[in-house]
């Protein structure tokens, strides 16, 4: 037997130790196995058919027959994959169609797709940021924004970053003012925020943030992954909720993996020059494959349905209102917000997990989030509402919560 390489003996024990630590502290995640399509209900291995209140399928388009058919048609016409990055021979007409539709839908001059919004955020900051810039980010921004900025800072030496307290306009103003008198900030100041924050379900005050950007000559980037298809009368996003034209956002990123069909893929929308620079220099687009044709065709159809049927957004809104009222009547408090995310704060992590388990026995699928995903003492059940839900599903949720209230007194 040849001797083991010198470094290898350290890897397996430390990997095992990390997993054992996660298990013993109750942080090991169990991946639930779904045996059919994502919809108002899902078939869950071991639990049967349950009402699903934890997906991002906000408009019920993930299993819409036209969205599915468009994907199948795309698969037939363009085959299984592009087998190339976009700039070599991986740009298909379905990408062009989708990107034109995305630009039109968002109300910005141009758009470009990525295999995920994670990927889009990884392209935006390192490609468009330069030394001397300062990127200011809300402290509760999505992990992909945080990592995208980290990557930018490590690639572009002299690019600075800062964090402002969540939704705190006074803190943002102070940081912008400090930036303006910082001699190291010689380039562009960026302000980056989620439109809808995923764990709290609250929204960014875009008009106020835009106002500060104007006052200090900063650029505004909004990642509206949980807002697209959800916020505003026609589901354009958080800016529509605020009656703010999309053109007041300099750079919009979002996902196709939530309301817009739920498959995968993300995009950036902005000025033609900004998009062209991403096409020319973005490393995820230069060195990684395009969105598959099936996904591009499904997503294009999802947007077409949303544009054709704004009543889906209205139905989502009515479902959210009914669910919020029911949650409160069942004896729980839910963080107040206009979004489809309804976090029920139960404080204790073990309690959140036990409640989620019990709800599943009652036929209702809701995930409990505890430390370290949210701060200690802020454990919650995160209920997400969909336009696909009927009254019977909302009733099942509320009935389940009433049972929980009896079994887990406040
Ligand atoms: C979900 C989410 C993402 C990730 O989207 P993917 O397309 O799944 O990579 C990025 N940003 C925000 C704000 C999100 O909520």
What local confidence, expressed as pLDDT, does residue 372 receive?
80
Does residue 200 surpass a pLDDT of 80? yes
Q: What is the mean pLDDT of the chain?
A: 96
From 198, 254, 298, 356, active-site residue: 198
Choice from 255, 256, 260 to test ligand 1 binding pocket (greatest atom count within 8 A of CB): 255
Ligand 1 centroid – CA 375 distance (Å): 20
Q: What does the alpha-carbon distance between residue 228 and residue 253 come to, in Å, rounded to a whole number?
A: 10
Report the pLDDT averaged over residues 296-315: 98
Tokens representing 228 are 């697209």
Starting at the earlier edge strand, list the strands of the sheet with 160-164: 110-114, 266-270, 251-255, 219-223, 189-194, 134-138, 160-164
Tokens representing 398 are 């509320």
Q: Residue 198 catalytic?
A: yes
What local confidence, expressed as pLDDT, does residue 121 receive?
98
What local confidence, expressed as pLDDT, does residue 84 receive?
96
**Residue 401, Cβ neighbours under 10 Å: how many?**
25
Q: For each of the domains in the chain, give its residue range(s) and CATH number, in order of start.
A: 23-52+310-407 (3.90.1150.10), 65-308 (3.40.640.10)
Q: Are 196 and 231 in contact (CB under 8 A)?
A: yes
pLDDT in tens, 25-36: 878 888 999 999
Strands of 18-107, DSSP E: 41-44, 48-52
Choice from 55, 62, 115, 118 to test ligand 1 binding pocket (greatest atom count within 8 A of CB): 118
Q: Are 42 and 365 in contact (CB under 8 A)?
A: yes
Tokens representing 235 are 């589901």
Biggest CA-to-CA distance, the chain: 71
Residue 372: cis peptide before it, omega within 30 degrees of 0: yes
- Is the model more confident about 278 or about 8? 278
Report the pLDDT averaged over residues 117-128: 98
Bridge partners (DSSP) listed for residue 196: 203
Tokens representing 100 are 């034109």
Q: What does the alpha-carbon distance between residue 71 and residue 296 come to, in Å, rounded to a whole number?
A: 8
Confidence of residue 220 (pLDDT cuts 50, 70, 90): very high
3-state secondary structure of 341: strand
pLDDT in tens, 387-408: 999 999 999 999 999 999 999 9
Q: Tokens 């001059």 label which residue?
A: 109
Does residue 279 surpass a pLDDT of 80? yes
pTM: 0.96
Strands of 74-133, DSSP E: 110-114
């Amino acid at each position: 037997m040849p001797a083991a390489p010198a470094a290898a003996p350290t890897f397996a024990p430390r990997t095992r130790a990390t997993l054992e630590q996660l298990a013993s502290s109750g942080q090991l995640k169990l991946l639930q196995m779904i045996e059919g399509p994502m919809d108002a209900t899902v078939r869950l291995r071991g639990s049967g058919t349950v009402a699903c209140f934890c997906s991002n399928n906000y408009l019920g388009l993930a299993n819409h027959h036209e969205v599915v058919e468009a994907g199948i048609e795309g698969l037939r016409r363009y085959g299984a994959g592009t087998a190339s990055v976009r700039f070599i021979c991986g740009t298909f007409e379905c990408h062009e169609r989708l990107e034109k539709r995305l630009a039109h839908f968002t109300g910005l001059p141009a758009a470009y797709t990525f295999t995920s919004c994670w990927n889009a955020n990884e392209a935006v900051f390192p490609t468009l940021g330069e030394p001397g810039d300062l990127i200011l980010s809300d402290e509760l921004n999505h992990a992909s924004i945080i990592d995208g900025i980290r990557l930018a800072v490590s690639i572009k030496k002299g690019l600075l970053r800062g964090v402002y307290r969540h939704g705190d306009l006074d803190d943002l103003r102070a940081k912008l003012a400090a930036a303006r008198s910082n001699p190291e900030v010689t380039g562009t100041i960026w302000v980056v925020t989620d439109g809808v924050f995923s764990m709290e379900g609250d929204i960014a005050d875009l008009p106020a943030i835009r106002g500060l950007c104007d006052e200090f000559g900063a650029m505004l980037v909004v990642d509206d992954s949980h807002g697209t298809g959800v916020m505003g009368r026609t589901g354009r996003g958080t800016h529509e909720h605020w009656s703010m034209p999309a053109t007041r956002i300099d750079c919009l990123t979002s996902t196709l993996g939530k309301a817009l069909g739920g498959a995968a893929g993300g995009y950036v929308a902005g000025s033609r020059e900004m998009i062209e620079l991403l096409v020319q220099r973005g490393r995820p687009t230069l060195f990684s494959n395009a969105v598959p044709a099936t996904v591009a065709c499904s997503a294009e159809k999802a947007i077409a349905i949303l544009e054709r049927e704004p009543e889906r957004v209205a139905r989502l809104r009515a479902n959210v209102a009914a669910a919020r009222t029911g949650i409160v009547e069942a004896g729980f408090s839910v963080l107040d917000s206009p979004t489809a995310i309804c976090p029920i704060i139960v404080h204790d992590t073990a309690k959140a997990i036990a409640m989620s388990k019990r709800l599943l026995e009652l036929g209702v699928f809701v995930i409990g989030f505890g430390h370290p995903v949210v701060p200690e003492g802020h454990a919650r059940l995160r209920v997400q509402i969909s336009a696909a839900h009927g009254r019977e599903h909302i009733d099942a949720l509320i009935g389940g919560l009433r049972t929980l209230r009896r079994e887990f007194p406040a």
